[in-house]
Amino acid sequence: MISVEPLTGITFRKPGPFGLTQRGPLSVSSTYFMKTTTLLGLLAYTKYSEDPSCAEAPEELPLGFSALASCLPCRPLRGPYASVRSQLYFGEERPFNLSALLELWEKGLKEEVEGLAEGRKVLEDGEGLMDYYAKSPDFERVSIISNKLDRRTKRSAFVFVRERLIMSGVEFFFEEEGCGGVREGVYALGSDGGLARVRRKPSNPVEGALKELWGERWGEPGAKATVVAVSPIILGFKDPHDPRSHWKGALRDAAPVRLFSRYEVELHPLGWDMKRNCPRPFAPAIKPGSAVVGTLEVSPEELYWRGVGELAELGFGSVLPLPM
Q: Which amino acid is at 79?
A: G
pLDDT for 168: 63
pLDDT for 41: 85
Rounded Cα distance, 29 and 13, in Å = 6
pLDDT for 57: 67
pLDDT for 162: 38
* CA-wise closest residue to 112 among 243, 227, 250, 226: 226
Helix boundaries (H) for 12-161: 36-48, 66-71, 98-104, 110-117, 129-134
Q: State the virtual CA torsion across 135, 228, 5, 148 in degrees, nearest 10.
A: -30
285 vs 26 pLDDT, higher one:
285
Task: Look up residue 19 and give its DSSP letter.
Answer: S
The overall average pLDDT reported for the chain is: 78
Q: Where along the chain do its domains lie?
A: 2-323
Rounded Cα distance, 242 and 276, in Å = 33
pLDDT for 153: 40
Q: What are residue 294's DSSP bridge partners?
A: 225
C-alpha 282: how far from its chain's center?
17
For 319, residues 6+ apart whose C-beta sits below 8 A from its C-beta are 227, 228, 229, 230, 233, 250, 303, 304, 307, 308
Q: State the virtual CA torsion across 108, 111, 116, 117 in degrees, nearest 10.
A: 150
Residue 167 has pLDDT above 80, yes or no: no
- pLDDT by residue (tens digit) across 218-252? 999 999 999 999 999 998 766 777 777 888 889 99
pLDDT for 136: 62
pLDDT for 190: 66
**Average confidence (pLDDT) over 201-228:** 93
Q: Which amino acid is at 86?
A: S
**Average confidence (pLDDT) over 167-188:** 83
Confidence of residue 177 (pLDDT cuts 50, 70, 90): confident
- pLDDT by residue (tens digit) across 7-65? 876 665 555 544 444 444 444 444 556 778 888 888 888 888 888 888 776 666 666 67
* CA-wise closest residue to 322 among 97, 262, 303: 303
pLDDT for 19: 44
